[in-house]
A and B are shown apart, each in its own frame.
Chain A
Amino acid sequence: MHDFEPKIVAFVCTWCTYAGADLAGTSRMQYPPNVRVLKFPCTGRIDPVFILRAFQKGADGVLVSGCHPGDCHYMAGNFHARRRFAAFRALLDFIGVDLNRLQFSWVSAAEGGKWVEVVTDLTERVRTMGPMPEFKELEHEELWSTFAEATAGKSTGLNITGDRSQVLNTPELKEAYDSIS
Chain B
Amino acid sequence: MSRIGVFVCHCGENISRTVDVEQVAKAAGEIPGVAYSCDYKYMCSDPGQTLLKKAVAEHKLDGVLVAACSPRMHEKTFRKAAESAGLNPYLCEMANIREHCSWVHEDREMATEKATGIVKLMVERVRKGKSLAPITVPVTKRALVIGGGIAGIQAALDIADAGHRVVLVERDPSIGGHMAQLSETFPTLDCSQCIMTPKMVDVANHPNITLYTYAEIEKVDGYIGNFQVTVKHKARSVDESKCTGCGVCMTKCPKKKIPNEFDQGHGMRPAIYVPFPQAVPNTPVIDRENCTMFQSGKCGVCAKVCGPGAVDYEQTDSFTVEDVGAIVVATGFKLYTIDRKPEDSPIQGYGEFGYGTIPDVIDGMTFERLASASGPTGGKILRPSDGKEPKQVVFIQCVGSRAREKGISYCSKVCCMYTAKHTMLYHHKVHDGQAYVFFMDARTPGKGYDEFWRRAVEEEEAVYIRGMVSRMYQKGDKIVVMGSDIQVGVQVEIEADLVVLATAVQAQDGADLLAQKLGISYDKYNFYSEAHAKLKPVECATAGIYLAGACQGPKDIPDTVSQASAAAAKVMTLFAKDQLERDPVVAKVNEKYCVGCFACKKVCAYGAIEEKEIRDRQGNLVKKVAYVNPGVCGGCGTCQATCPSKSIELDGYTDEQIMAMIEAL
Contacts and interface: CB of A to CB of B under 8 A. Distances in A.
Interface of A: 7, 9, 14, 18-19, 21-22, 24-26, 28-31, 33, 36-42, 44-47, 50, 53-54, 57-59, 72-77, 80-81, 84, 116
Contacts of A81: 638, 641
Given A33-B101, A37-B100, 5 more contacts: A33-B105, A38-B658, A44-B638, A45-B650, A75-B634
Chain A interface main SS type: mixed
Contacts of A54: 662, 665
A31 B104 contact: yes
A64 B582 CA distance: 28
A36 B121 contact: yes
Given A42-B637, A57-B665, A28 B104 contact: yes
A81 B642 CA distance: 10
A80 B642 contact: yes
A33 B107 contact: yes
Contacts of B299: none
A54 to B, nearest CB: 5
Closest 9 CB pairs of A and B: A25-B99, A45-B637, A44-B638, A74-B636, A42-B636, A75-B605, A25-B103, A22-B99, A77-B636
B650 A41 contact: yes
Nearest to A28: B103
Interface in B106-128: 106-107, 110-111, 113-114, 117-118, 121
Interface in B447-502: none
A178 to B, nearest CB: 13
Contacts of A74: 605-606, 634-636, 638
Q: Which of B635, B641, B653, B665 is the most central at the interface, judged by chain A CB atoms within 10 Å of its CB?
A: B641
Contacts of A50: 658-659, 662
Contact of A22 (B72, B658, B662): B72
B290 to A, nearest CB: 43
A39 B95 CA distance: 11
A89 B627 CA distance: 31
A84 B101 CA distance: 31
B70 A22 contact: yes
A80 B640 CA distance: 12
A110 to B, nearest CB: 13
A23 to B, nearest CB: 8
Q: Which of A31, A46, A47, A76 is the most central at the interface, judged by chain B CB atoms within 10 Å of its CB?
A: A47
Contacts of B661: 38
A13 B652 CA distance: 14
15 contacts: A18-B70, A25-B98, A31-B104, A31-B105, A33-B101, A36-B121, A40-B653, A40-B658, A41-B653, A44-B641, A45-B650, A47-B641, A50-B658, A74-B605, A74-B606
Nearest to A75: B605
Contacts of B641: 44-47, 80-81, 84
A75 B636 CA distance: 9
Contact of A42 (B98, B104, B638, B655): B638
Nearest to B113: A33
Contacts of A40: 637, 653, 658
Interface residues of B, number: 44
Contact of B665 (A36, A47, A73, A116): A36
Given A44-B641, A45-B636, A21 B99 contact: yes
Contacts of B113: 33
Given A30-B106, A36-B117, A50-B658, A25 B634 contact: no
Contacts of B652: 41
A19 B650 contact: no
B663 interface: yes
A38 B117 CA distance: 12
A17 to B, nearest CB: 11
B603 interface: yes
Contacts of B605: 74-77
Q: Which of A28, A45, A50, A77 is the most central at the interface, judged by chain B CB atoms within 10 Å of its CB?
A: A45
A84 B603 CA distance: 12
Interface in B627-665: 634-638, 640-642, 650, 652-653, 655, 658-659, 661-663, 665
A41 B100 contact: no
Contact of A29 (B98, B104, B111, B114): B104
Contacts of B110: 33
Contacts of A57: 662-663, 665
A9 to B, nearest CB: 6
Nearest to A109: B72
A28 B658 CA distance: 29
A24 B104 contact: yes
A18 B69 CA distance: 13
Nearest to A19: B72
A33 B100 CA distance: 9
Given A40-B653, A42-B637, A58-B665, A21 B100 contact: yes
B96 interface: yes
A169 to B, nearest CB: 21
B93 to A, nearest CB: 10
B547 interface: no
B72 A18 contact: yes
B166 interface: no
A81 B638 CA distance: 8
Contacts of B111: 33
B638 A77 contact: yes
Contact of B659 (A21, A53, A59, A73): A53
B585 interface: yes
Contacts of B634: 74-75
Contacts of A42: 636-638
A29 to B, nearest CB: 6
Contacts of A14: 72
A55 to B, nearest CB: 10
A54 B661 CA distance: 10
A31 B103 CA distance: 10
B114 A41 contact: no
Contacts of B106: 30
Interface string B516-550: 00000100000000000000000001000000000
Contacts of B72: 14, 18-19, 22
B118 to A, nearest CB: 7
A18 B99 CA distance: 10
